Each structure stands twice: as C-alpha cells, then as structure tokens.
Structure 1
Amino acid sequence: MSTAPAPYRPPATRTPLRRRLRRAFGREHNPLCRPCDRARSRLVLATAAFLIAATLCALLAALVVLHRGQGAASTSGHQRHRITATTLTPATGVVASKAGAPVGTEARASWTYPPAHHGTGVVHVAAGTPAGAGVAIWVDDGGRLVAAPRPATEVMTDAVLTGLGTLAVLGATAHLCRSLRGRVLDRRAQDAWEPAWEQIEPLWSGRHHHGPDGTAP
C-alpha cells in the first residue's frame, strides 16, 4: 500500500532572530553572507529597537497628558461649584456659532454664591424655559460664571489621542528611514552583483578550463 506524498511546502523566507543577531554582529561565517546582508540585518534590528522606544515614548506622553489633565481637572473642580440659579426672563434668542448653526438658547438669571454675594448674568438654558425656573450653573469661589470642569472621559481621550499620535509620527519616521536605507542597500547589492558574477561565472560554467577561443589549453 503506497502512501500519498507529503504536500510541498515552500522553504521559509524569514531569517530567524538568532541568525539575524549573529549576522548583524558579524558572527555568522556563511561564505554566502554579503556585507549588504549584514547591513540589512542591522537595519532590521535598529528599526525594531526604534519602534520599541517609540512605543515607550508614546506611553510616556500619554501618561504625562493624563497626569496634567487630571491635575487641572482636580484643581478646577475644587475652585468651581455647581449651584442652582433662578431665571429672571424666559428663554429667548438663539445663540449662533460662527458657522451660523444654533447651539442653544439663553436667559437672564440670578444666584447667590457665596452666601453674601448676589450675582446675575446670562446663562444657557433649554428652549422653552420660563422665568422663575431653576437651572444648574457653575461659578468660581467669587461667584462668577465659569465653564464646567472637564469630565474624566475627555481627559482620558486626550491622553489616548496624544499617545496614538506620538506613536503614529514616530512609526512613520521609522518606516521612512527604513525604506530609504533599504533602497540604498538594494542599489549597493545590485552594483556588487555584476563583478561578483564575473568572478563566479567562469568557475560555475567551467570556462576557466578552456582558452579564450573555447578550446582546452
């Protein structure tokens, strides 16, 4: 009973890491290993090391932005207070952005904060809010209107975007440098191919056993 032949498997084209390291540091004694092959191995290792460093830099940048954002949010959170104001007029008018898109309505309101301070101002309210309604606003320690503290999700989003942006820029730089250096090595290998073939071809074809006219000496 004959057995079916094993399926054909193409030879592996990837150089193992151990051989790559030996080749990069000149420890591989393979006569077929050319200087450009060693340079290419060093390029691969340098690119990998740069990408690892880029990842660490991106992580560090994200942590710095996160730490600063959390610190600023914590400071503003202690200096800003959410209170209830009373509208003095019904909601009127549309507050338009520079692009002309409506973003809300506003009304005049009054509030008391700190206890001895009575403040008034124009606040954003929902459409249809009548006079005498209570609306939530943010004020500082002196009772002046301020924006709401940044939410934790916004701070986290900024940190993530900073990390991804840093990694993208450094990764693109690594890819560009590797591509440019790879082209130089390709041209160098191509230039070295012809003189190497001129030395090997007579031995490979047996022409060194014959004279210039093709006859045996």
Structure 2
Amino acid sequence: MTRTPRTPPIRPWRRGLCRALGAERNELARPEDRARSRAGLLAAVATALALMLGATAAWTDFDSAEHRVAAAATRLHHLNAVLLTSTSTTTDTTDTAAPRYQATAAWTYPAGQQQSGTVGVSRQAQAGSTVGVWVADTGRLTTAPAGTADLVSDAVIVGLLAVGLLFVLIAAGLGLRLRSLDHRADTAWQRAWAELEPVWTGRAARRPGTDGPRRS
C-alpha cells in the first residue's frame, strides 16, 4: 500500500505573513483577519526599527560622552600626593561594602604652588606614603575622568530606555488597532447573524403576512 506523502504544515508566522501580504488563498479569511495580520506585521517591523534606533541612541550617547571625557581630560592632571596624616576609616568596617579611607595629603601643582586637602584612599597607609590624585588646572582636587566601562554602562541604559519607550508606544498602538478590529468584526458578525438567524431558525416563514401551510 502506497502512502501519500503528508504536506508539511504551514507555520503560523508564515501563514500570517501571507495573509498580511494578501497572498493567502483562504476564502474564509475576513477583511478584519487580513487587517489584523497587517497590524502584526507592522508591529514586527516597528519593533525591529525600535531596536535599531535604540542601538543608534546608545552609540551616539557613548560617542558624545567619550568626546566630552577626552576634552575634559586635557584639563585634568594625575599627580602623586604625600600623606600628611595616617588614613582613617570613612565607612563602617562591619558593612558588607569594602571600607574606604581618607587622609590629609599635600601636592605641588601648578609648579611651585603647594596645595593640601583631604583625599580618599582605597587602602590603609601611613603618613609619608604617596597616593595618586587628580587635580584640575588650578591645582584643586577633582574626580578622575570616567572610564570606558562607565561610558558603556551609561550608553546601554540610554539605549534600553529608548527601546523601552518605543516598545510601549508600539504595544499601545497595536492594542488599539486590534481592539478596533475586534469591535468591527463583532459588529459585522451581529449584522450577519441578524440577517441569517430568522432564515436558519425558520422564524422568517412564520412571520405575519407569510403564506403558512394550508389546512384541509
């Protein structure tokens, strides 16, 4: 006995794509069904564009931040400062976070001008030890320029926020469109049922004025 080869089933996404493009051969498909498939296709395309825009926003933020940091770094200087006092703990050592230390230090910048201040130190140190500090052109203490990891982290956050906002807009638009199509389909179904129900149940033949069966 020869077996008839089975036709592989059509995947739902392929069926939906054919329906959205008007290439589906299905006489039972309603205009609302095709419109619903087109809405899904547009949402998928919009999602892909949202991902591209999010990546673009992240890269733009990283590139601009990198230029800002590079420009600011030209006005920053890394020096070796001498501790005038031993370090003291600035956080509770019982905390889960690693303890931080601080001490009074002195450095010379600009040339010939000695400066002093309280600096943060990541380890215990005694007076006379040297630590690295960042200063501005005036010689005042400042923070270190942002590193690449920080810039990447900020850029990723910007990209995720952009994508998240676009996803919310896409989901809201798709939801409103599907709700409108559901309402349209429900209205069409009620209108068709109002026309078909009297004939299907036989009530149309029993309406007043119609010719009923004759009695002998």
Say whether the fold is shared (TM-score over 0.5).
yes
Change (3 A) 1:4 1:116: same
- Which runs of no fewer than 5 residues in structure 2 stay unpaired? none
CA contact (8 A) 1:95 1:106 kept: no
Query: For residue 17 of structure 1, what is the amino acid of its counterpart?
Result: L
1:121-140 counterparts in 2 under 5 A? 121-140=117-136
2:166 to 170, 185, 191: 170
Q: Report deviation, 1:187.
A: 2.3
**Pairwise CA RMSD of aligned residues?**
3.5
For the pair 1:73 / 2:72, whether they are aligned, the reply is no
Cα shift readout 1:69-119 (whole Å, capped 9, x = no counterpart): 1012111222211111000111135268xxxx8852211111112322211
Instruction: Give distance in 2, aligned partners of 1:193 and 1:126.
Output: 73
Q: Report deviation, 1:193.
A: 1.1
- Which residue in 2 is equivalent to 1:83? 79
Q: SS where residue 111 of structure 1 aligns?
A: strand
Q: Report deviation, 1:41.
A: 3.0
Q: Report deviation, 1:20.
A: 1.3
Q: Aligned residue pairs: how many?
A: 205
- Which runs of no fewer than 5 residues in structure 1 stay unpaired? none
Cα shift readout 1:39-60 (whole Å, capped 9, x = no counterpart): 3233223322322332232122
* More off after superposition, 176-185 vs 159-168: 176-185
Instruction: Give distance in 2, aligned partners of 1:81 and 1:7.
Output: 75
Instruction: Give distance in 2, aligned partners of 1:93 and 1:4.
Output: 83
For the pair 1:116 / 2:112, whether they are aligned, the reply is yes
Instruction: Give distance in 1, aligned partners of 2:89 and 2:176.
Output: 60
Percent identical residues: 33
Instruction: Give distance in 1, aligned partners of 2:85 and 2:193.
Output: 93
CA contact (8 A) 2:109 2:115 kept: yes
Change (3 A) 1:33 1:5: closer
Instruction: Give distance in 2, aligned partners of 1:185 and 1:103.
Output: 61
Q: SS where residue 119 of structure 2 aligns?
A: strand
2:187 to 187, 191, 209: 191
Q: Compute the TM-score of the two structures, normalised by the length of structure 2.
A: 0.77
Change (3 A) 1:195 1:13: farther
